[in-house]
Amino acid sequence: MGDNSISRDIIRGHIDAIILRVLCEGDNYGYEIIKAIAKNSDGKYELKEPSLYTSLKRLETQKLISSYWGDESQGGRRKYYKVTSLGEEAYEKSLADWKIAKDLIDKLIERQD
């Protein structure tokens, strides 16, 4: 499935919701978000960094997430993201929309013998 371009195209349209889901489970920073997504997909999907930054920037502009700097004593500074109440609403809505779309696509594609 990892090489399946159709499923990648479908996932691509839902990156914002995928990231919101990770952040709904707790504040997180860029690299850990990528890791969490890989883990949620059982290692079958890896979000690329350019897409991550684009999506985070968009979510922040839409005020669905907010950010703050972590206070690591060593190593690089980490920018953490936190979902806002607006973001939680958006996440619930994306989830509901996705379920409707999934049912519909199932009905449309699967043959009913």
Partner 1 sequence: MNSLEFYVDHLFRKYKASIQIQDLRFEVLGNLEAKVADLTANGVGYDEAVRMAKENLPSIDHLIDGNRTIYINQFRLEYVQITLLYMVIGWIVAMPLQFIRTGFIHWLFLISSAIIGVVYLVLLANRKNINMQKIKAFNLNAVFDLRKQVWLVWFIFIGMSIFITTALQFGSNIWFFRPVDISGPYQFAMIAIKYLIPFASIIVPVIFHIAPKLIMKYEVGENDGYKE
What angle do helix axes 30-40 and 15-24 make, rounded to 10 degrees?
A: 100
Residue 29 backbone phi and psi in degrees, to 5 = -115, 170
Partner residues linked to 69 by β-bridges:
79
Considering beta carbons, is residue 69 or 98 the nearer one to partner 1? 69
Residue 62 interacts with partner 1 (CB under 8 A): yes or no: no
Judged by CB under 8 A, the residue of 29, 84, 88, 94 near partner 1 is: 29
Considering beta carbons, is residue 81 or 91 the nearer one to partner 1? 81
Judged by CB under 8 A, the residue of 35, 40, 41, 84 near partner 1 is: 35
For the record, the structure tokens of 58 come out as: 């968009």
Number of residues that bind partner 1 (CB under 8 A): 19
Q: Which residues in 65-104 contact partner 1 (CB under 8 A)?
A: 75-79
Binding residues for partner 1, per CB under 8 A? 8, 12, 29-32, 35, 48-51, 53-54, 57, 75-79
